[in-house]
Amino acid sequence: MKKLVLASKSPRRKEILSRENFVFTVEESLFEESSKNLSPIDVAVFNAKGKASEVYNRLNDKNIVVLGADTVVFINGELLGKPKNESDAFNMLKKLSNCVHEVVTGYAVASESGVETGFVKTEVFFNELTDKKILEYIKTGSPMDKAGAYGIQDNFGLVKKIHGSYDNVVGLPIEEIRVALLGALKN
C-alpha cells in the first residue's frame, strides 16, 4: 500500500484524517494560491490541484499519494479568503451576519496514475451577529487562519444551520474524498 501525504498545514484537515484512521505525513505545499477571474469552484479545485501536484512532484516518489485541498467562502459574488488583519475579519463576519453563503472545498489526489480532482459545496446560514459578538470572536484569534474568518467547529454560535457536509465547512469533506483516496492508495 502506498503512503499518504497531506499537502496542508491545516490542523483541521489533520484532525479529520486522523479521526478517520488514515495514517499520513504532512508536507506543506509551496504552491502559490490564486483566485484570478475564476468561479469559486474553479478557484478551490485549481488551488487544491496545484498544492497536491507541487508536493507530489517535489517529493518525486511513486509510492506516495498526495492529498491537496482548498476551501473558499463565497457570498454575493465575492470570495472571502483568510483575513489579512482583525479589521478584515470584522468586515467579513459583518457580511456573513444573517446571510446565506457557500463553502466550497476543492480536493486533489495526486499519484503515479495522475491527479483526480473534485469539489464539495455546502450552504451555510449565519445567525445575526452583533458587533460585540464579532469582536468577542475576533479576540479569540480563531478567525485569523480561516477562509471567511470563521470556523464552524468553534461553537461560537455563528452558524444557524447548514445544507450539506459539515466536514466540508471545516475544510475536508472526507466522505466524498474517501473513495478517491482509498483507490489511489491501493493502486
pLDDT tens-digit map of 53-105: 999 999 999 999 999 999 999 999 899 989 999 999 999 999 999 999 999 99
Q: Which residues are catalytic?
A: 70
- Residues 5, 120: Cα–Cα separation, whole Å: 21
Q: Go through the domains of the chain in sequence order and give each one's CATH number.
A: 3-186 (3.90.950.10)
pLDDT interval class at 130 (50, 70, 90): very high
- Residues 170, 136: Cα–Cα separation, whole Å: 21
The backbone region for 77, taken as left when phi is positive above 0, alpha when psi lies in -120 to 50, beta otherwise, is left
- pTM, full prediction: 0.93
Mean pLDDT of 140-168: 95
Q: What was the pLDDT predicted at 23?
A: 96
- Residues 136, 119: Cα–Cα separation, whole Å: 32
CB atoms within 10 A of CB 187: 11
Asked if residues 66 and 2 have their Cβ atoms less than 8 Å apart, the reply is no
Q: What was the pLDDT predicted at 35?
A: 79
